[in-house]
Chains A and B, each alone.
Chain A
Amino acid sequence: DSGVTQTPKHLITATGQRVTLRCSPRSGDLSVYWYQQSLDQGLQFLIQYYNGEERAKGNILERFSAQQFPDLHSELNLSSLELGDSALYFCASSVAGLTNEKLFFGSGTQLSVL
């Protein structure tokens, strides 16, 4: 158990809909990362937060947004969903958000867009 909690584990929805994925980082970790994993694209970096502030951004679509709340949990919002958004979404956390730190990953949310 990594200590990172992601909910829900599975999500099935239709095209055009909006969903929210939730992540609770490990106790004491200030930084949260979101990644998208699909068979053809691998593990793609979406966005990173540190103590409530955005620290780094990857190729995150404009239809996607995220935030980290004062209690350090994070949410990833996906809107106007398309078939291609079907993927496994991972949240990870680390103590201070430095790149040589260990990232602790949750078990992921499997999103299926039908």
Chain B
Amino acid sequence: TQLLEQSPQFLSIQEGENLTVYCNSSSVFSSLQWYRQEPGEGPVLLVTVVTGGEVKKLKRLTFQFGDARKDSSLHITAAQPGDTGLYLCAVAGTSYDKVIFGPGTSLSVIP
């Protein structure tokens, strides 16, 4: 059983379109992180959210942590080819718990 689910699994869109990807679980988490991974490289942290309902913006990316701290969404406005990659959410139950990654959403932005 997957602790974390991410949807959609794959997403292919045209440059300039908007998109939202989701990270869901039935468990409550102390924190949630979003990473982006490009082929042949390790994941790179985009954002950390710790408070239920928290919204963070990073240029064209908007991250939201669910009120119950069980889910999160990542919205990209006006996607660009440089946004192409595997988007992973990562969670932990407590501050000293192991960090678990979701299966990821593979995004392809076509010029």
Report A's interface with B, CB cutoff 8 A.
Answer: 2, 4, 33, 35, 42-45, 48, 55-58, 90, 92, 97-100, 102-103, 105-108
Contact = CB atoms under 8 A, between A and B. Distances in A.
B94 interface: yes
| Contact residues of B: prevailing secondary structure | loop
A97 B92 CA distance: 12
Given A100-B48, A100-B50, A45 B42 contact: no
Interface residues of B, number: 26
Interface of B: 30-31, 33, 35, 40-45, 48, 50, 88, 90, 92, 94-104
B42 A102 contact: no
Given A55-B96, A99-B97, A107-B42, A42 B102 contact: yes
Of A55, A90, A100, most buried by chain B (CB within 10 Å of CB) is A100
B50 A42 contact: no
Contacts of B94: 99
A56 B98 contact: yes
7 contacts: A43-B101, A98-B96, A99-B98, A100-B30, A103-B33, A105-B42, A106-B42
Nearest to B97: A99
A76 to B, nearest CB: 15
B41 A107 contact: yes
A42 B42 contact: no
Contact of B31 (A4, A99, A107, A108): A99
Contacts of B33: 100, 103
A77 B103 CA distance: 25
